[in-house]
A and B are shown apart, each in its own frame.
Chain A
């Protein structure tokens, strides 16, 4: 190496050495700086070179906080929704109980209020477990009603529990009539693809008796199970006709059993407390003021979907009078089924069992 280059190399090394010493001294000075000076240097660095990293962390922290706040808010929202839902359930239950209370007060002591218990297991559809039983005077074949209408009938009775079947049960049958008594028939269930699609069908309506959609149908009271006047459903549409013989209609049930939580059980003799031919139709629908004017004229009924309205309670003279249930069809009408013996007009057994087959 030439002397010039060697000198240059040595000078470079010396410069690097002094530079290193300089930085070492500078670092030592930093350590020896008073706290105030150290803070100023640190603050300046954080505010300039390191600010992007700090901003990144701030944004992440804010994001995390927002996420936690969202989770917290979501939890609070869920809690509030749950509270509201619980209150809504209580309110609905309260309203149902009030309706049932009014209905019970109106109907008399023979109605026992009951809560519906559901097992929820497969195969328990169409069955209602009630928290009333033999102690409360409940017996087999007692009707089960709600503020909207007929729910079903008691099948089994224990001391404090009873099992009822609702109208979706395949064995369910009930003899019904229009409010004006123009038409009688037998109602039975028809299963749909889903439980919500279950419907009732009215069969055995005389061929020349047409029923308009919306016509309310109540229990006819024939037999010894269902008292007259319990709302069963309303006519939806014509289902089928048997030429020259009878018609059948699809009905919109007055009660959807899967939504029922509170019911009333009519205990004792269905006719007890009721006068001769007296019914309960005034509890659910307003009786026809002038029944039997025409065969096919649509009758103005209270909307059964609205349920029982205590304000619409009939006066004692209004419901249940024998004159309220005239048979408008002429007895000589060949299409008129023998309502006494064969209300459904299909040759079925008489409704001595309350319309159930």
Chain B
């Protein structure tokens, strides 16, 4: 567990910022998926069950605006929380390269899971969704997330605590 409260505050603020941008300001796809970024980073700080619970709650909040695929976000984020928490056991990962790869793959995974779990009304072409939209969204979210972490000083390469 990292005792850096500033880092954790940023991780908590990211989902709030996500809803502020998407819902409050109505930017929709113009805003990055900071929910996934926050969840991925937060999951590495939490145990698996707790991360799953956090993912479930955050996904459920998003599902409140997704009646056509209700529950898909909750399940995808739950899985993402579990995977993020388990990644701590597989990768130590304090480098920037790991951070970028982790955020990119995690965000892409969330998009892929949502596409998989969403109903036919929402699901679009697989190639377009998984190979174009999801990577672009993942890259966008990764870039913004990494920038936020570095700008705020929340990310440090040296071991914390």
Decide if A and B are genuine partners: yes
Chain A interfacial positions (CB closer than 8 Å to B): 12-13, 15-20, 22-24, 26-33, 35, 38-39, 41-42, 45-46, 49-50, 52-54, 56-57, 60-61
Specify which chain B residues have a CB less than 8 angstroms from the CB of A56 in the assembled complex.
20, 23-25
Docked complex Cα distance between A42 and B67 (Å):
8
In contact, A24 and B79 (Cβ under 8 angstroms): yes
Residue of A nearest to B70 (CB): A38
Query: Which 9 A-B residue pairings sit nearest by Cβ, starting from the closest?
Result: A19-B49, A31-B71, A30-B71, A27-B75, A56-B24, A16-B49, A45-B64, A53-B23, A20-B52
Residue of A nearest to B48 (CB): A16
Interface of B is mostly: helix
Q: A56-B20, A60-B25 are in contact. Are A17 and B63 (CB under 8 A)?
A: no
Contact of A53 among B19, B47, B53, B59 (CB under 8 A): B19
Residue of B nearest to A46 (CB): B64
Contact of B53 among A19, A49, A50 (CB under 8 A): A19
Instruction: Supply 14 A–B pairs (Cβ within 8 Å), ascending by A.
Output: A15-B49, A19-B53, A20-B82, A22-B52, A27-B59, A30-B71, A30-B74, A31-B74, A31-B117, A38-B70, A42-B67, A50-B23, A53-B20, A57-B26
B interface residue count range (under 10 / 10 to 19 / 20 to 34 / 35 or more): 20 to 34
B9 near A: Cβ within 8 Å? no
In contact, B19 and A60 (Cβ under 8 angstroms): no
Residue of B nearest to A54 (CB): B23
Residue of A nearest to B23 (CB): A53
Specify which chain B residues have a CB less than 8 angstroms from the CB of A18 in the assembled complex.
49
In contact, A45 and B70 (Cβ under 8 angstroms): no
In contact, A42 and B63 (Cβ under 8 angstroms): yes
Q: How far, in Å, is A250 (CB) from chain B's closest CB?
A: 67
Specify which chain A residues have a CB less than 8 angstroms from the CB of B133 in the assembled complex.
none
Contact of A24 among B25, B50, B52, B70 (CB under 8 A): B52
Q: How far, in Å, is B58 (CB) from chain A's closest CB?
A: 11
In contact, A60 and B26 (Cβ under 8 angstroms): yes
Specify which chain A residues have a CB less than 8 angstroms from the CB of B107 in the assembled complex.
none
